Amino acid sequence: MSEWVLQADSLSKRFGRKWALRDCTVSIPQGKVVALVGPNGAGKSTLLRLAAGLSQPTSGTIEVLGHDPHKSNEDLLRRIGYLDQERPLYRGFRVRELFRFGADANPGWDMQAAHLYVDQLGISLNDRVNSLSGGQQAQVALTMCLAKKPELLILDEPAAALDPVAREDLLRLLMRQVSDNGSSVILSTHALSDVESICDYLVILSHSRIALCDDVDFIVESHRFLSDPTSSNSRLPDGTTIMDTRISGRGVTHLVKMDLPIVDDSWQISEPTLDEIILAYLRQGVRNGLLDHVETPVNTRVLP
């Protein structure tokens, strides 16, 4: 058994002349709940579709649970549960019929669990999909994924556009699955509060590239705000890299990534929250993206 649920090496995907994903190298350990964060168009869905074997890399490689998901046999696909952003369901079906379909398509289908899930969510087996609210449809779609009892769940914005209660119910259902089955989860989201409460691993995508990928705890431990109220420091402490800078009046505050403990006491040091770190990386991505565009237009075109 592979200790990684997902390993990508120089993974790239191009649609026409546009790179949706470039040079992604990541390794995601087993048993994590991974948040995939990034602005719209950063390549989140592309990465998730590649992981689910729904599309093929332009270059580079990807392995999921130790296998190439695109070339792989049905066996691997049974071990993965993928939920698309659109949450496709047969609108005219009753929930019972969806489940029967799920059972036919998946040998590992747990009908008892499927019934229990919808029961907890207050949805009847006789309800038709198109009579359900958007939130309930999302819950049924997730239930379809969970009842497969997959080792890895790949969820593209599973909680987007849900009201707070539906969202809470859905995420709780997901966490219970993680607790009961030890499933790994990779989910994309725009809600930073979800990242803090349910995810223990974070991947930030920005402009088709990986900007950050690590354990959430380590990310928080390895970043600091350094402030200098009078801008009198000319030098940053050793082992630090600036990720974001804010200049106020006379003072300056950097968000830095530190590779060594900071011993320099000429800076005021404070601990950022996870949200602040994520936002800094996303902002930095926006700036670099603009620079890329202006300074190196040649690099964006690559030989076929």
Partner 1 sequence: MEDKRPSIYFRLDSRSGVAPYRQLVDQVRHAVKLGQLRGGDQLPSVRDVVTQVTINPNTVHRAYRELEHLGIAEGRLGLGTFITHDVDSLSRESDHDVVEESLKQWIKLARRSGLDEDQMLTLLRQFLHHNEQVRS
**Residues at the interface with partner 1 (CB under 8 A):** 31-33, 168, 171-172, 175-176, 178-180, 193, 196-200, 217-218, 220-222, 224, 258-263, 265, 268-271, 273-275
Beta carbon of residue 220, minimum distance to partner 1 (angstroms, whole number): 7
Nearer to partner 1, 103 or 178 (CB): 178
Taking Cα atoms as reference points, which of 281, 209, 204, 296 lies closest to residue 241? 281
Q: Is the Cβ of residue 35 or residue 129 nearer to partner 1 in the bound state? A: 35
In the chain, the N- to C-terminal Cα span, in Å, equals 36
How many Cα atoms sit within 13 Å of 252 on the Cβ side?
13
Instruction: Kindly state the smallest distance separating residue 21's Cβ from partner 1, in Å.
Output: 26
CB of 222 to partner 1, least distance (A): 6
Specify the residue, 176 or 287, whose C-beta has the smaller distance to partner 1. 176
Q: Which is nearer to partner 1, 89 or 236 (CB)?
A: 236
In the complex, minimum distance from the CB of residue 253 to partner 1, in angstroms, rounded to a whole number: 12
* Least CB distance to partner 1 at residue 273 (A): 4
How many other CB atoms are found less than 10 A from the CB of residue 176? 13
Work out how close the CB of 227 gets to partner 1 at its nearest, in angstroms, rounded to a whole number. Answer: 9
Our CB check for partner 1 shows the closer of 258 and 282 to be: 258
Q: How far is the CB of 271 from partner 1 (least distance, A)?
A: 7
Q: Which of 68, 59, 53 is nearest to 20 (CA)?
A: 59
CB nearer partner 1, residue 50 or residue 198:
198
Of 32 and 148, the one with the shorter C-beta distance to partner 1 is: 32
Helix axes 134-146 and 95-105, enclosed angle (nearest 10): 30
